[in-house]
């Protein structure tokens, strides 16, 4: 069973920068896994942020960026805002099957 | 405007059957995949499976294969997720989401399914 691993929790100060990562049990994450990133706030449906590693949606603030870093997919938030406090999930494509990571709870403090 | 509108909350007893729905608006329903995602209480997102409405090709996560059935009726732009015999462990919020080539862009509002005797 494929496992996708994220940091369980991270804390960042307002205005700071933080990087969340997404690792695959099968080995290095490449662009062929089409990493997606989602934000979920309590009581809300997930919201898409990034697709295919680094592509933002039209509604995604510019402070969110996606990349590959050290064999993992990465989501970097620069100039963090209080409203960025949320759960963040990555999703990787394994051919016809997709797998979510366990999520990272980001606290802005 | 693209929207996915899901059916309302359900309360069921163990052993009962259930079919929930996800209706697409504002885009060509047949030309995009629809995926289903489970979120158990206080837990993370789990990818369940996906369907291509134009020909109903379906792929399931190994964890959900045989546990649920995903279907679609392209004539009414609606995808479905169904159970033949619910268990208490099926209690969760279920989301549908539109998938383009490599992107889950639009999500439904979620359907809360509660299974309790």
Q: Which residues of B touch A102 (CB under 8 A)?
A: 44
Tens-digit pLDDT string for chain B (117 aa): 999 999 999 999 999 999 999 999 999 999 999 999 999 999 999 999 999 999 999 999 999 999 999 999 999 999 999 999 999 999 999 999 999 999 999 999 999 999 999
Q: Report the pLDDT value the prediction gives residue B106, as an integer from 0 to 100.
A: 98
Q: Report the pLDDT value the prediction gives residue B49, as an integer from 0 to 100.
A: 98
pLDDT band at A6 (very low <50, low <70, confident <90, very high): very high
How many whole angstroms separate alpha carbon B72 and alpha carbon B57? 10
Is there a contact between B103 and A93 if contact means CB atoms under 8 Å apart? no
Q: Report the pLDDT value the prediction gives residue A9, as an integer from 0 to 100.
A: 98
Provide the percentage of residues in chain A whose pLDDT is more than 90: 98
**Using only C-alpha atoms, what is the Rg of chain A?**
13
Chain A, 81-100: which have a CB under 8 Å from a chain B CB?
87, 89, 91, 93, 96-100
Chain A, 19-78: which have a CB under 8 Å from a chain B CB?
34, 36, 38, 40, 45-48, 51-52, 55, 57
How many whole angstroms separate alpha carbon B38 and alpha carbon B15? 19
DSSP SS3 for A49:
strand
A44 Cβ contact list (under 8 Å, min separation 6)? none
pLDDT band at A78 (very low <50, low <70, confident <90, very high): very high
Provide the percentage of residues in chain A whose pLDDT is more than 70: 100
């Amino acid at each position: 069973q494929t496992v996708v691993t994220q940091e369980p929790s991270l804390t960042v100060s307002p205005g700071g920068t933080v990087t969340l990562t997404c690792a695959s049990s099968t080995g290095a994450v490449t662009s062929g896994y089409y990493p997606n990133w989602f934000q979920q706030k309590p009581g809300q449906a997930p919201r898409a942020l990034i697709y295919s590693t680094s592509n933002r949606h039209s509604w995604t603030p510019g402070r969110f960026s996606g990349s590959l870093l050290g064999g993992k997919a990465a989501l970097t938030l620069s100039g963090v805002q209080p409203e960025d406090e949320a759960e963040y999930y990555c999703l990787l494509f394994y051919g016809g099957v997709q797998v979510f990571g366990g999520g990272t709870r980001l606290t802005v403090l | 405007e693209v929207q996915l509108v899901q059916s309302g909350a359900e309360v069921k007893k163990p052993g009962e059957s259930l079919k929930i729905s996800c209706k697409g608006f504002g885009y060509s329903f047949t030309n995009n995949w629809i995926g289903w995602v489970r979120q158990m209480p206080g837990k993370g997102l789990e990818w369940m499976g996906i369907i291509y409405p134009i020909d109903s090709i379906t792929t399931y996560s190994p964890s959900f294969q045989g546990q649920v059935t995903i279907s679609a009726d392209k004539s009414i732009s609606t995808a479905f997720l169904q159970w033949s015999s619910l268990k208490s462990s099926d209690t969760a919020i279920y989301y549908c989401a539109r998938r383009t080539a490599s992107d889950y862009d639009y999500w439904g509002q979620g359907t809360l399914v509660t299974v309790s005797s």
